[in-house]
């Protein structure tokens, strides 16, 4: 699209820049400031250079949490993306049923994140939860507070419950953009369901899938509240992901310097993801 | 994709049905627990509750800690939505119509604010809002949430506005309308579904957030989600009241979804479907 060249455009975006800078830049600068100092209390602090960065990268607990995080994010993506596409394909394109399903799918996205944790806690506990009690009565030993495998599966099930809808809604929007004539042509040619998907639907889904994958990657990379409420990172450290470990350092142990160095590294990783997101979204746009 | 294919049932439709069941069962369980007394929950497990009671909800609507928390949450979510949408509209219009120095970089920078890991930023946030005397007010939470709702609002609105042809701007000018008239009486009404979707997303992301809301409030402005994390009393957790509070936090979301259901899917793609 043709855009008018005019630097007065800044006037239109200035209010947004000011208000976002206030909450975005000031705390970020404070964190960068902490990350190069040893803070004993608020009046006693020393400049330590990049020491905290080195220590963080060599810290075995950081590396473990990082690997756990990668494993979690990959598991989440490998289930939610295909499942979301299949769900979207099963949806009718219009009518009351489509509206009802859209509303139903959107519900988990609008539940406060700690309530999502609470819902799954109430659902999965082995004393009062429907899932926990039923599994144990069926003879399957299940206790997510004590068994690491159960804890992992429960956190994963919770994330699938919480976020698959996002992928499904995105894929639904992508599928809605396929003209009906394409399906009629495919039907005349006797195309199979797989061929319809592979050659008609998938190309149309490309853009929305880029958005879906990156949004899920970034959000799963920052997951905190839901597992915090459900498992508290346990049993042991088995469901402690990056944010959780960071919070323990910053709030629990008050290791501000190392925690700040950690979050700068963490932020740079997320920035990398953002950059991939931005370039792939805008590549087709221009 | 006609009505006939629904009756026949393809594998993806069965999976869709199963998934809906998977979505609903934990919510069903939340509702049943919310409708039972705590002693019934702890002592007798049954899939269909026997003694239904609305005591838990009565507790929430009569205890000021709970209903005040609910009102506090709604207050900051509304303030946030109003600020975000009213500032994002001119910014998104500018991004969609003008080219200026650093526009692409600025657009990217806005996005990065949505991605900052919250845990360590909490302390600077606390210090910042204490320093300007806004700590423990709904305005503090609303402003802090602007950090991720404004970028999102700009992104969604820019996507929708870019798909509106500039011919509309030209025609209004040729017809002799002033810019103000064009913007408020022609351009915004054309984009009203986009604005509806944006309101939905600002509402949603402000409503579901916990960490900043918890950090920036103490007693006066404490939101309901924070109250929920502190329901552990001397006698243990009151599961019934906790479940009832969970139910109460879902309701505003359902009401908002209903109003924007037609535009929901498109909004999730930030307006960029194909």
A220, part of any domain? yes
Q: How far apart are CA B233 and CA A12, in angstroms?
A: 51
pLDDT surpassing 60 at residue B2: no
Most confident of B35-49, B56-70, B117-131, B138-152: B138-152
A225, part of any domain? yes
CATH number for the domain running over B59-268: 1.10.3720.10
DSSP tag of B50: S
More confident residue, A210 or A15: A15
Sequence-ordered list of residues with C-beta below 8 angstroms from that of A56, at least 6 positions apart, any chain: A62, A258, A261, A262, A265
Q: For chain B, give the number of residues.
A: 274
A71, part of any domain? yes
Whether A264 and A56 have beta carbons less than 8 Å apart is answered as no
CA distance A246 to chain B (A): 6
- Contact (CB<8Å) A250/B258: no
Least trusted range by pLDDT, from A233-242, B59-68, B110-119: B110-119
Identify the closest residue of chain B to A243 by CA–CA distance: B119
Domain of residue A211 covers 60-285
- Contact (CB<8Å) B273/A177: yes
3-state secondary structure of B236: strand
Whether A132 and A142 have beta carbons less than 8 Å apart is answered as yes
A65, part of any domain? yes
- Contact (CB<8Å) A87/B162: no
Torsion angle (degrees, nearest 10) of CA A88, A92, A96, A98: 10
**For the segment B40-72, what is each residue's pLDDT rounded down to a tens digit?**
777 777 777 777 888 888 888 888 888 888 899
A34, part of any domain? no
Tokens standing for A32? Answer: 């960068």
Q: Is the peptide bond before A235 cis (omega within 30 degrees of 0)?
A: yes
CATH number reported for the structural domain that contains residue A212 in this entry: 1.10.3720.10
Q: What integer pLDDT is reported at residue A269 of this predicted model?
A: 82
A11, part of any domain? no
Residues of A in contact with B20 (CB under 8 A): 101, 104
Region B212-230 average pLDDT: 82
A261, part of any domain? yes
Q: How far apart are CA B171 and CA B169, in angstroms?
A: 6
Residue A97 pLDDT class (50, 70, 90 cuts)? confident
> Looking up tokens 């953009």, which residue turns up?
A177
**For the segment B10-42, what is each residue's pLDDT rounded down to a tens digit?**
888 899 999 999 999 999 999 988 888 877 777
| Assembly ipTM | 0.84
> Looking up tokens 């709970």, which residue turns up?
B66
A95 C-beta neighbours (distance < 10 Å), count = 12
Instruction: Please state the domain count of chain A.
Output: 1
Of A8, A172, A224, the CB nearest to B119: A224
Sign of CA dihedral B155, A28, A233, A273: positive
Q: What is the mean pLDDT of chain A?
A: 85
3-state secondary structure of B233: strand
pLDDT surpassing 80 at residue B261: no
**For the segment A42-66, what is each residue's pLDDT rounded down to a tens digit?**
677 778 778 888 888 888 888 888 8
Least trusted range by pLDDT, from A273-282, B99-108, B151-160: A273-282
A27, part of any domain? no
Per the confidence metrics, is the pTM higher than 0.80? yes
Of B110, B166, B274, the CB nearest to A177: B274
Sequence ranges of the domains in chain B: 59-268
Percent of chain A with pLDDT over 90: 17
Of A30, A93, A130, the CB nearest to B124: A30
């Amino acid at each position: 699209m043709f855009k008018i060249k005019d630097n007065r455009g800044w006037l239109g975006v200035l209010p947004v820049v000011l208000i976002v800078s206030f909450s975005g830049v000031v705390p970020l600068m404070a964190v960068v400031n902490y990350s190069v100092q040893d803070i004993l209390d608020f009046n006693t602090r020393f400049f330590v250079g990049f020491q905290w960065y080195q220590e963080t990268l060599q810290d075995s607990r950081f590396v473990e949490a990082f690997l756990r995080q990668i494993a979690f994010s990959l598991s989440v993506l490998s289930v939610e993306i295909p499942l979301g596409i299949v769900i979207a394909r099963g949806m009718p394109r219009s009518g009351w049923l489509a509206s009802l399903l859209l509303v139903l799918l959107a519900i988990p996205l609008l539940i406060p994140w700690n309530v999502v944790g609470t819902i799954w806690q109430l659902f999965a506990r082995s004393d009062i939860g429907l899932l926990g009690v039923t599994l144990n009565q069926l003879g399957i030993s299940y206790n997510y507070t004590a068994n690491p495998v159960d804890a992992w599966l429960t956190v994963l099930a919770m994330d699938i419950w919480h976020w698959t809808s996002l992928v499904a809604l995105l894929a639904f929007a992508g599928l809605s953009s396929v003209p009906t004539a394409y399906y009629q042509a495919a039907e005349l040619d006797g195309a199979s369901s797989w061929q319809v998907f592979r050659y008609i639907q998938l190309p149309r889904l490309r853009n929305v899938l880029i958005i879906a994958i990156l949004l899920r990657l970034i959000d799963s990379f920052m997951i905190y509240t839901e597992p915090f409420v459900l498992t508290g990172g346990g049993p042991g450290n088995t469901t402690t992901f990056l944010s959780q470990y960071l919070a323990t350092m910053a709030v629990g142990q008050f290791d501000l310097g190392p925690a700040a160095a950690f979050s700068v590294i963490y932020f740079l990783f997320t920035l990398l993801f953002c950059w991939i997101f931005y370039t792939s979204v805008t590549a087709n746009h221009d | 994709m006609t009505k006939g294919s629904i009756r026949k049932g393809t594998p993806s439709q069965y999976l869709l049905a199963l998934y809906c069941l998977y979505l609903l069962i934990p919510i069903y369980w939340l509702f049943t627990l919310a409708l039972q007394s705590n002693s019934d929950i702890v002592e007798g497990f049954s899939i269909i509750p026997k003694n239904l009671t609305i005591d838990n909800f009565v507790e929430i609507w009569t205890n000021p800690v709970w209903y005040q928390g609910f009102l506090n949450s709604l207050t900051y979510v509304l303030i946030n939505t109003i600020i975000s949408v009213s500032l994002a509209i001119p910014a998104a219009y500018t991004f969609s119509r003008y080219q200026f120095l650093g526009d692409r970089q600025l657009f990217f920078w806005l996005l990065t604010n949505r991605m900052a890991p919250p845990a360590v930023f909490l302390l600077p946030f606390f210090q910042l809002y204490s320093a300007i005397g806004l700590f423990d007010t709904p305005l503090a939470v609303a402003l802090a949430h602007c950090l991720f709702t404004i970028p999102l609002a700009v992104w969604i609105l820019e996507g929708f506005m870019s798909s509106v042809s500039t011919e509309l701007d030209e025609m209004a000018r040729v017809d002799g309308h002033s810019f103000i008239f064009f913007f408020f009486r022609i351009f915004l009404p054309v984009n009203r579904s986009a604005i509806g979707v944006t309101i939905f997303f600002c509402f949603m992301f402000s409503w579901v957030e916990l960490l900043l809301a918890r950090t920036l409030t103490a007693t006066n402005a404490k939101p309901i989600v924070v109250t929920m994390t502190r329901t552990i009393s001397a006698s243990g957790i009151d599961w019934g009241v906790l479940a009832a509070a969970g139910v109460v936090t879902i309701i505003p979301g359902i009401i908002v979804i209903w109003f924007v259901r037609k535009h929901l899917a498109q909004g999730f793609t930030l307006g960029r479907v194909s």
